Chains A and B, each alone.
Chain A
Amino acid sequence: MNNISKTPPIFSGILIGLSMLAAFVIAGRGIGTSGFLTRLVATVQYELLPEVTEKSAYFARYFFTDTHPLDNWLTYFAVGLVLGALLTSLITKSWKVEVLRGERISSAGRLLLALLGGGLIGFAARLARGCASGQLLVGGAELAVGAWAFAVCIFAGGFAAAYLVRKQWI
């Protein structure tokens, strides 16, 4: 169980790099996932609670423009991403409804930590102006100082908190 993947890491890394390179060559921009997710949830909140959403200077820039916040390159990219994962998991017969967890944690415990970790990252990705794809990979390839500093801090944060949640994974 040391290595779950059967695809050699250099191969999958090159595929991820080629996706990023295709975005540079075709669109002249980087890839990204977190931007789509934030736009999606902001749109939902705007439908339900327009006053609250309009009050936020951060979300306002999504809505006070001519285009719908989801009428964006990132949305198309995200559609491709979920289709790619879905079809590949079906073909490799790994599509399964399950909770992935280490042997020493309950399903409920794992889901609670997943919610907490997701919340932290939902906030952190906005603060950092991007996530692992949009900030780390793209900025890394562009030689951006911010992206390389981001990478160092991700590992610092991960290792700092690892002991506290060790039962979840090992």
Chain B
Amino acid sequence: MDIIAPLAKTGFITEAQNLWLAIPTGFLLGMALQLAGFTDGRKIGRTFYFKDTDVPTVMFTAITTGMLGLWGLSLIGYLDISKVYFIPTYLVPVMAGGFLFGIGMVVGGYCPGTALASSFTGKLDAMVFVIGFFLGSLLFGDLYELWVEFYKSDYRGVLRMDQLFGTSVGQTILILVLIGVVMSVGMRLVQHLVWHNVQPISSLVLRSIQYILVGLALVVSVGMAFFPNDAFLPSEAAREHYYMVPRPILELLETQTNIKADAE
């Protein structure tokens, strides 16, 4: 198949069209968060007491979908993965941020995306959460001098799990999908042990469809595990893209392109 994606980077669509298409892309996320029940802070908060286990299940399903899609499209030659922006790793800062983020989730009941979505469904607690987010962000930005050194520390470049563990891209995908399945099922089992009369999530038919979808994801990722890295990262340019970017070059990129070093 001819490479045509990412559409905005291969000239298939204009930059203006790319911006307009961000609206339906966001619409899909807003709709999904509302359907998932994630616009209800109780659902997110109760994750941390094993009273509701949809958060990890939805999270792992979303990652699996994006992961199989991204690498699968590269595998069949539809997408030039070297033109996709990859998030660089600053390991210690991202871990410290994650720990604070987790505390914030159980205290506040939301993450930024769910709070923004929930605010527009009339939920006052979500609106207050967003105000809190604004204040926390301002604190970070206005007193940036205090933590800039830590923020920029432990830079690892674009570091992927397969590079860290010395496995192939395909094998890594399979392992991560398996971890997702084990964690989702495991959380559900703990829920049964801690809270006895747990209601079934959905009807037998819907449950069966879910099992089939999970099985399908497993079959696809087992298939992917047999492909060598060259199949996922076809061009020399694509492979180079993933090697660690030396710090000075990254800083140059940051200053020239405004947001490049930030996932946002």
Q: How many interface residues does chain A have, given as a range?
A: 35 or more
By the criterion CB–CB under 8 Å, are A58 and B34 in contact?
no
Q: Which of B63, B86, B132 contacts A114 (CB 8 A)?
A: B132
Chain B minimum-CB-distance residue to A153: B98
**Residue contacts A-B, CB under 8 angstroms, 9 given:** A3-B37, A12-B36, A13-B59, A29-B85, A77-B25, A77-B29, A99-B123, A118-B131, A121-B101
Q: Which of B41, B84, B87, B139 contacts A122 (CB 8 A)?
A: B139
The A1-36 residues at the B interface (CB cut-off 8 A) are 2-36
Q: How far is the CB of B29 from chain A (nearest CB, A)?
A: 4
* Residues of A close to B142: CB separation below 8 A: 45, 52-53, 55-56, 59
By the criterion CB–CB under 8 Å, are A78 and B9 in contact?
no
CA–CA, A74 and B29, complex, Å: 13
* Residues of B close to A9: CB separation below 8 A: 36, 54, 57-58, 61, 201, 210
Q: How far is the CB of B16 from chain A (nearest CB, A)?
A: 10
Contacts A10-B214, A115-B129, A144-B160 given; does A80 touch B206 at CB 8 Å: no
By the criterion CB–CB under 8 Å, are A45 and B138 in contact?
yes
Q: Which of B22, B101, B213 contacts A77 (CB 8 A)?
A: B22
Chain B window 164-178, contacts with chain A (Cβ cutoff 8 Å), 1 for yes, 0 for no: 100001001100100
* Residues of B close to A59: CB separation below 8 A: 141-142, 144
Chain A minimum-CB-distance residue to B203: A8
Q: How many interface residues does chain B have, given as a range?
A: 35 or more
State the A residues within 8 Å of B (CB).
Answer: 2-38, 40-42, 45, 52-53, 55-59, 61-62, 65, 67, 72-74, 76-89, 92, 94-102, 110-111, 113-162, 165-166, 168-170
CA–CA, A159 and B46, complex, Å: 11
By the criterion CB–CB under 8 Å, are B159 and A144 in contact?
yes
Contacts A24-B79, A35-B259, A127-B100 given; does A100 touch B28 at CB 8 Å: no
Q: Which of B91, B98, B106 contacts A151 (CB 8 A)?
A: B98
* Residues of B close to A57: CB separation below 8 A: 144-145, 148
By the criterion CB–CB under 8 Å, are A119 and B136 in contact?
yes
* Residues of A close to B202: CB separation below 8 A: 6, 8
Contacts A56-B141, A83-B27, A141-B67 given; does A25 touch B79 at CB 8 Å: yes
* Residues of A close to B199: CB separation below 8 A: 2-3
Q: Which of B65, B106, B115 contacts A158 (CB 8 A)?
A: B106
By the criterion CB–CB under 8 Å, are A120 and B137 in contact?
no
Contacts A113-B107, A130-B263, A157-B101 given; does A37 touch B129 at CB 8 Å: no
Q: Which of A27, A102, A114 contacts B6 (CB 8 A)?
A: A27
Chain B minimum-CB-distance residue to A166: B49
The B186-215 residues at the A interface (CB cut-off 8 A) are 191, 195, 198-199, 201-202, 206-207, 209-210, 213-214
